[in-house]
Amino acid sequence: MVSRNRSQVKDHLGSKVLNHPELRNTKATEYMSHEEKYRYNLSRATAMLKLIDEEGMDVNEISKVMSHTVSGFTTPDGNPLAVHQVMFVPTLMNQADDDQVSRWLGDVFNGTIVGTYAQTELSHGTFVRGLRTTATYDPASRTFDLHTPDVSAAKWWPGGLGTTANHAVVMAQLYTDGQPRGIHPFMVAIRDRETHRPLPGITVGEIGPKLGQNTLNNGYLLFDHVKVPRENMLMRNARVNEDGSYTKPSHQKASYGTMVFTRVAIALDTVDALQIAATIAARYSIVRRQGEPRDDGQEPQIIDYQTQQLKVLPHIAACYVLRASTARLWEHHTHVTSEVRGGDTALLPELHATACCLKALVTQDCSEAIEALRLSCGGHGYMTASRLPALYAYATAGATYEGENTVLLLQTARYLVKQAGGSHAPPAAGSAVTYLSRPADDTPFAVGSPAAYVAAVGRVARGRVTEVAAALQADRQTMPEADAWNQSLVQLVAAALAHGRYFVVREFAEVVSQQSSSRAIQQMLQLLFSVYLAHAVSRAEGDFITYGGLTPSDIRLNRRHLLRLLAELRPHMIPLTDAFDLPDRLINSTLGAWDGDVYRRMFEQASHSPLNTDEVPASFHQAMLRSKL
Ligand SMILES: CCCCCCCCCC/C=C\CCCCCCC/C=C/C(=O)SCCNC(=O)CCNC(=O)[C@H](O)C(C)(C)COP(=O)(O)OP(=O)(O)OC[C@H]1O[C@@H](n2cnc3c(N)ncnc32)[C@H](O)[C@@H]1OP(=O)(O)O
Ligand SMILES: Cc1cc2nc3c(=O)[nH]c(=O)nc-3n(C[C@H](O)[C@H](O)[C@H](O)COP(=O)(O)OP(=O)(O)OC[C@H]3O[C@@H](n4cnc5c(N)ncnc54)[C@H](O)[C@@H]3O)c2cc1C
């Protein structure tokens, strides 16, 4: 199939998904039971998978259909096949050797094998080296013995594991030749392909309700000395030979590759959720009028309150800035992965550091922004039918899964302090950390100059990183490494976030400078960028004074500048959110439809409450009268 560009993919998906015979008719799921919701979401997830297969979509196209924009329509309560598609399949493609790929991929693509990625355990998620599921090789039987030593080592959380998957890539501690070899991936059948019953030695089930995404179908899994053939260890990187001898991988963290990919995918995807929330809040802020009537006799549109502009407009700018920078990270990931497959792992450490901090920065910014947008819709934003609570539940999950954000930022910080101290291999050309080994950019700060803002963001990142690197270095002289590290944790996290912010604004500056299609678009991108930058300064004024070279007077000027920019952006708010090109059915919000017919929709959705079916519900007689209140 010919590869399509992003907007063509969107048009294509618009018609394919919204008109698909098994997908076009949606049902409200709010009043369904847990089991009914699962059945509804699973059947739609399966239809999507078939569509992906029939269309022969490439990875970029799959990334669009699996994105929250589309999957929020197909599987509104969470996709039970998400981890199959986003983690299990990529793990097989990248970590299985050629023989294994040809052995399994046919069955994966014809739907006989449905998988999950089983890493996290009840007692260990963050500290992967601490996982306790063991895979002990026995050369006599040429099998691994997979075992869960006790309940705290039960796998807990894998998506689709609950009742959907019949296979799992299980991350376990490998023992061979009597030696521990670290965490390795194993392809394990957990349920019978025909009957779907758990196989002998396997205990498996679903973990129960969560804040959101309740049909992701997260599960638990325990092994009681389950025998797995030698050929089921994924062997593209490390190998166990028949006699039990062990061949190391080319990079010690090669088996963590799926996590890097998924972090990049989550960063890209969480911006989709923000775009939907921003569109809802923008449309509602135009429709909603409240307050003392003005000269025209009408109550003001709430968007004309300065405070409302601050709640809504910077997040629209963030949609543009974060979309561009995460799309570039996605492209960079594709490039580095192909180098790694060719045996060159030089770019992997920096990709890991960048993926960690962007996943953390984007999920943190987006979940805070979605909550602000929800609040901007007042009481109606609290209703499920506004869609805003579910968007928040989705974005905030991203702050925890695939590496809890603090922990990921510390991974980035580890890379940055090593770079600042010169104890890491020097960065490659085009690296995102070369600024650390150069003199600070002393472009003077000037309100209204995006270049001056970018330079200031760079000085904050540089100042934060070099300061914490020096503090760490000093503490290392007087205390053990773990204590020195712990003394600096808060500053390390702040340094990594500052680095992430600099990465984002540099990437967007480049996108703006390369944009050549029209002067009007260029000007609009400049305006969005200016809003993003002024807002970034206003959120971290202390940092910009301490490290960025701004004076208190610059800070005051920036506050006024931001409010002026918001007023300038306000007339463009609706075209800018319309440009996300989200049809009403994908937005699925009483508050965010294109025609602005909010109040009729709110009444219409209330009519679905089962408590409105009878004038006096049976529960009144059963509960209140019986208790003789
Ligand atoms: C067919 C194609 C389909 C494509 C579909 C695309 C669809 C995209 C659109 C949809 C997008 C999203 C949909 C959302 C659905 C997603 C559902 C997500 C479900 C969630 C799943 C999970 O959560 S899985 C579990 C994830 N768990 C974690 O992330 C655990 C976090 N912890 C860790 O990663 C590690 O423990 C940690 C890195 C923190 C520490 O590791 P450790 O082994 O202890 O290492 P250290 O000693 O700290 O460091 C040693 C050196 O190793 C370096 N390093 C660590 N990790 C990596 C790595 N991954 N790569 C490279 N290098 C690494 C580290 O930097 C150290 O280096 P140094 O030089 O020694 O300093
Ligand atoms: C919706 C959802 C879906 C998931 N899907 C999957 C899946 O498909 N497969 C899978 O294997 N897993 C999955 N997970 C699990 C997920 O990857 C883990 O929950 C995540 O990695 C965080 O680990 P944890 O739960 O152990 O948190 P913890 O590490 O226990 O975090 C608790 C607190 O401790 C802090 N902390 C921990 N270590 C450190 C440290 N070294 N330094 C500083 N602070 C620290 C954290 O910052 C946090 O504040 C899923 C989780 C969720 C919520």
Beta bridge partner(s), residue 118: 170
User: What separation in Å is there between the alpha carbon of 97 and the centre of ligand 2?
Assistant: 29
pLDDT category at 629 given cuts 50, 70, 90 is low
Annotated binding site: 120, 159
Q: What is the pLDDT of residues 496-542, one digit of tens each?
A: 999 999 999 999 999 999 987 789 999 999 999 999 999 999 999 99
Q: Reply yes or no on whether the pLDDT at 5 is more than 50.
A: no
Give the pLDDT confidence score for residue 60 in this predicted structure. Answer: 87
**CATH code, residues 98-103+111-246:** 2.40.110.10
pLDDT category at 15 given cuts 50, 70, 90 is confident
Instruction: Name the residue among 490, 586, 573 with its Cα closest to residue 531.
Output: 573
For residue 534, what are the β-bridge partners?
Answer: none
Ligand 2 near 466 CB (within 6 A): no
Assigned token pair, 314: 């910077």
Span 537-566, pLDDT tens digits: 999 999 999 999 999 999 999 999 999 999
Does the pTM of the predicted model rise above 0.95? Answer: yes
Catalytic option among 61, 371, 402, 507: 402
> Which residue's CA lies nearest to atom 52 of ligand 2?
401
Å from CA of 605 to ligand 2 middle:
36
CA separation for the pair 353, 416 (Å, rounded):
8
Between the CA of 137 and the centroid of ligand 2 the distance, in Å, is 29
Share of the chain above pLDDT 90, in %: 88
Residue-wise pLDDT tens digits, 344-401: 889 999 999 999 999 999 999 999 999 999 999 999 999 999 999 999 999 999 999 9
Centre of ligand 2 to C-alpha 94, Å, is: 24
Provide ipTM, 2 decimals: 0.98
Active site residue 292: no
Beta carbon of 485 within 6 Å of any ligand 1 atom: no
Q: Mean pLDDT lowest for which of 209-223, 426-440, 571-585?
A: 426-440
| pLDDT for residue 421 | 87
Name residues whose C-beta falls within 8 Å of residue 608's C-beta, 6 or more positions apart in sequence.
28, 30, 31
3-state secondary structure of 155: strand
> What are 469's two structure tokens?
């690197």
pLDDT at 1 over 70: no
Tell me the fold of 256-426+441-577: Butyryl-CoA Dehydrogenase, subunit A; domain 3 (1.20.140)
Span 55-91, pLDDT tens digits: 899 988 899 889 999 999 999 999 999 999 999 999 9
pLDDT value of position 16 = 86
Q: Render pLDDT for 171-199 as a digit per residue (tens, 0 to 9).
A: 999 999 999 999 999 999 999 999 999 99
Eight-class DSSP state of 188: E
Q: How far is the CA of 490 from the centre of ligand 1 (A)?
A: 21
Report the pLDDT value the prediction gives residue 593, as an integer from 0 to 100. 97
Determine whether the shortest distance from the Cβ of 403 to ligand 2 is under 6 A. yes
How would you classify the pairing of strands 134-138 and 167-176?
A: parallel
The annotation places the binding site for FAD at: 120, 159
Cβ–Cβ under 8 Å, residues 216 and 286: no
How high is the pLDDT of residue 10? 57
Q: What's the pLDDT at 14?
A: 67
Task: Work out the average pLDDT over 94-116.
Answer: 96
- In this predicted structure, the answer to whether residue 49 has a pLDDT above a threshold of 50 is yes
- Residue 256 beta carbon below 6 angstroms from any ligand 1 atom: yes
**Helices vs strands, H then E, count in the chain:** 22, 11
Residue 199, pLDDT score: 98
Ligand nearest to the CA of 266: 1
What angle do the packed helices 306-341 and 257-287 form, to 10 degrees? 160
d(CA 402, ligand 1 centre) in Å: 6
Which helix (H) or strand (E) element contains residue 515?
A: none
The DSSP secondary structure of 593-618, one letter per residue, reads -TT--HHHHHHHHHTT-GGGSSSS-H
Q: In the prediction, which pLDDT does 8 show? A: 46
Does any ligand 2 atom lie closer than 6 A to the CB of residue 306? no
Indicate the top mutation candidate among 188, 394, 404, 490 to test ligand 2's pocket, ranked by most ligand atoms within 8 A of CB. Answer: 404
Average pLDDT over residues 459-477: 98
Residue 297 pLDDT > 90, yes or no? Answer: yes
Tokens of 427: 């960065």
Q: What is the pLDDT of residues 241-286, one digit of tens each?
A: 999 999 999 888 888 999 999 999 999 999 999 999 999 999 999 9
89 Cβ inside 6 Å of ligand 1: yes
Lowest mean pLDDT among 3-12, 468-477, 507-516: 3-12
* Helix ranges, 228-305 (H): 257-287
Please give the mean pLDDT across all residues of the chain. 94
Q: Whose CA is nearest to atom 16 of ligand 2?
A: 401
Atom of ligand 2 nearest to the CA of 406: 47
| Ligand 1 pocket residue status of 63, Cβ below 6 Å | yes
Report in angstroms the alpha-carbon separations of 48 from 15, 64, 180, 452: 13, 12, 41, 47
Among residues 171, 134, 168, 169, the alpha carbon closest in space to that of 149 is found at 134
Q: Give me the pLDDT at residue 429, please.
A: 74
Residue spans of the domains in the chain: they are: 6-79, 98-103+111-246, 256-426+441-577
Nearest bound ligand to CA 75? 1
For residue 595, is pLDDT > 50? yes
Averaged pLDDT for residues 591-618: 95
pLDDT at residue 7 tops 60: no
